[in-house]
Structure 1
Amino acid sequence: MRIAVVDYKKEPRKGSLELMESISRHGHEPVYLKTPMLDAVLTPGGIKVYQSTEEVSVNAAILRGIGFITSLETLMKRIGVLEALASQIPVINDPSKSLIARDKWRCLLHLYLKGLPVPETLVTENPFTAMRYVKDKHIVVYKPLMGSLGLGSTLVQDPDLAFNVTRGLMNIGLPSYYQVYLEKPGYDYRVFVVGEEVIGAMKRVNPYSWKTNVAQGAGGVPVSEKEEPEVYELGLKAVKILGLEYAGVDIAYDQGTERYYILEVNAFPQWEGLRSATGVNPPDYIVKYVIGKIKK
């Protein structure tokens, strides 16, 4: 069988390369597809997807990224082409559902509407709204609406700073996203789900910063379901609600409210930190899951 890995870089990034290596280890042929190079055509004979001049012919695809896109038209084109591909073969994760997870606000909105616990969160284009929110909450976290690895996330305690941040973003046509600061006990959790199974979970501990992303210097400590059953349960529920088939779920415990909260769900998760902490190799689980989908 031919199994594609879909990403946006000219050459496969580390995670995509590891998936391709796993596909080969499982006795199948890996194919690398680049989202900017994919086109789709509606013909009398059916839907055809091309990479440059070559028609795409694969049995399934694993989506790893669509790229950082500045125009709505390009984003919709890439999602639309991937949807065309998904109408013919299994694409994991589903492109449209991956787009919801990529947008932090829409991700939390979907979870909130299904009754899952998420932190108090504001999305706005109004600098006065942002200023009032910080005055009311005293300390919040500004996050890029679309982003990962903790990059760009900033603690905000000054209402005037929130005003200036939101006004600056408004002037270039971007919204602002603020989340109430949680009193974490020095760590949070990353839960990795494939299919209907948590394949591994870890505490992300960073003694030097409030940020607990592995990319920001945090270390991982493995966590079992017996130790943290609620964390495992929330991870599975979040992935199911969003309709994803593999994902990393970030969950925090707030000492102030004594509750767990889902911070975000990543449809294109990294896994180096989790693998180092738990010994679990997510690419093998993902590839086995995809092979099972093809055989059904």
Structure 2
Amino acid sequence: MSLETPRVGVLAFHTSPELRAIEGAISELGAVPVRLNEESLTLTAGDSGVSIEPDIDVCINRILLSTQSYPLDPIGVAHTISQAVPMINDPFATVRATHKFMTLSTLSEAGILVPASVCSLNHDRLFTSNKTLTESVVYKRAVGTHGSNVLQANRNNPPEPQFGDRLSLTQSRIKPPGDRWWDRRIYVVADSVIAAMDRFAAKTDWRANIARGGYAVDVTDDLDDVLVSLAVDATAAIGLDCAGIDLITDGDRWYVLEVNPTAGFKGLFSATGISPAPYIVALALDRISVSTDPEVLVKASKSMDEPTVSEM
């Protein structure tokens, strides 16, 4: 390392195995993890510019905007920090990724294939505005996580409004090959694919979420160059440094469903034996001109250990 004992901030207002794994990887790579949350963080601005307490050299943004009651507050915090130190996952790129239709429209404009979709505050128009929608559609809120607030619907027999005055969208429901519903999660850091898995829905569900009782299979070594490029290009189009890319195929073409800026990877690690955490940390260290030994990086990716030294 070219910088003596770097201090890597991890910005998050929640706790999770992934968060602890990132802090563990920071320790493993010889830096000091510094948790930035409501209990520890103070920001100041004045004649001398922006300052952060506790002191950090670089920051990894792990805010879950989809769970925030007042998301503009953490966005403001993250942006302020990004003015003072390099940040992994720009706060405004995370907004673009968290809002599902903003993601779809951005990808579409970039020439990346997405399912036909409609977004409207008018419930009836959700089911009539796009004639290319399949008869069976996915009906969901524009912001959500873990498959929550997601329903199946028939565009010819629309359901009653389900999400109050929240912005909603409909999307063509693409059926993948096989007897069970499944999709693919590809985890991207910088311009590289770290690991990938196919997620199969539980027998009684159509949503391929591990959090909803599904299971996963390692497909890291099965990806072709086209699919790798698609995942990397989707991450770049949204403006993120790292993301979990969700894709689905109809057997002929692959569609990008979502770009997850704070994607969980406990299930990915269970399926593949690879943790993205050290690769995220290595990217953060690279932003402050600190190099990482590739052998140490690979070794660190084989576990999701918690930090040995940290500041909370």
User: Which of residues 20, 34, 59 is equivalent to 2:57?
Assistant: 59
State how 1:117-196 maps to structure 2 within 5 Å. 117-132=113-128, 137-157=134-154, 159=156, 161-162=158-159, 164-165=160-161, 169=163, 172-185=164-177, 186=180, 187-196=182-191
- Asked which structure has the greater RCO (Cα within 8 Å, sep 6+), the reply is 2
User: Which of residues 206, 213, 221 is equivalent to 1:210?
Assistant: 206
Alignment match, 1:222: 218
**Shift in Å, 1:158:** 6.1
User: Which of residues 278, 289, 292 is equivalent to 2:286?
Assistant: 292
CA contact (8 A) 1:184 1:253 kept: yes
**Shift in Å, 1:200:** 0.8
Distance 1:274 1:253, change over 3 A: same
- Segment of structure 1 superposing worse, 286-295 or 134-143: 134-143
Distance 2:253 2:39 in 1: 42
Distance 1:200 1:253, change over 3 A: same
Asked if 1:17 corresponds to 2:20, the answer is yes
What letter is aligned with 1:286?
I
Asked if 1:29 corresponds to 2:32, the answer is yes
Alignment match, 2:12: 7
**Shift in Å, 1:134:** 9.3
Structure 2 residue runs of 5 or longer lacking an equivalent are 1-5, 291-312
How many aligned residue pairs are there? 279
Paired residue secondary structure (1:202): strand
CA contact (8 A) 2:17 2:266 kept: no
CA contact (8 A) 1:123 1:176 kept: yes
CA contact (8 A) 1:130 1:159 kept: no
Distance 1:99 1:139 in 2: 28
CA contact (8 A) 1:93 1:246 kept: yes
Distance 1:141 1:134, change over 3 A: farther
User: Which of residues 34, 43, 48 is equivalent to 2:46?
Assistant: 43
Alignment match, 2:301: none
CA contact (8 A) 2:42 2:54 kept: no
Distance 1:252 1:38 in 2: 40
What letter is aligned with 2:91?
P
Superposition misfits of 4+ residues, deviation over 6 angstroms:
none
Alignment match, 1:262: 256
Identity of aligned residues (%): 28
Alignment match, 2:95: 99
Structure 1 residue runs of 5 or longer lacking an equivalent are 50-54
Paired residue secondary structure (1:294): coil
Deviations 1:169-193 (A, max 9, x none): 3xx4311111110011232210000
**Shift in Å, 1:69:** 3.0
**Shift in Å, 1:132:** 2.9
Distance 1:272 1:75 in 2: 25
**TM value normalised by structure 2:** 0.82
Distance 2:154 2:83 in 1: 47
What letter is aligned with 2:215?
G
**Shift in Å, 1:38:** 4.7
**TM value normalised by structure 1:** 0.86
User: Which of residues 99, 103, 110 is equivalent to 2:106?
Assistant: 110
Distance 1:206 1:134 in 2: 28
CA contact (8 A) 2:220 2:272 kept: no
Paired residue secondary structure (2:126): helix
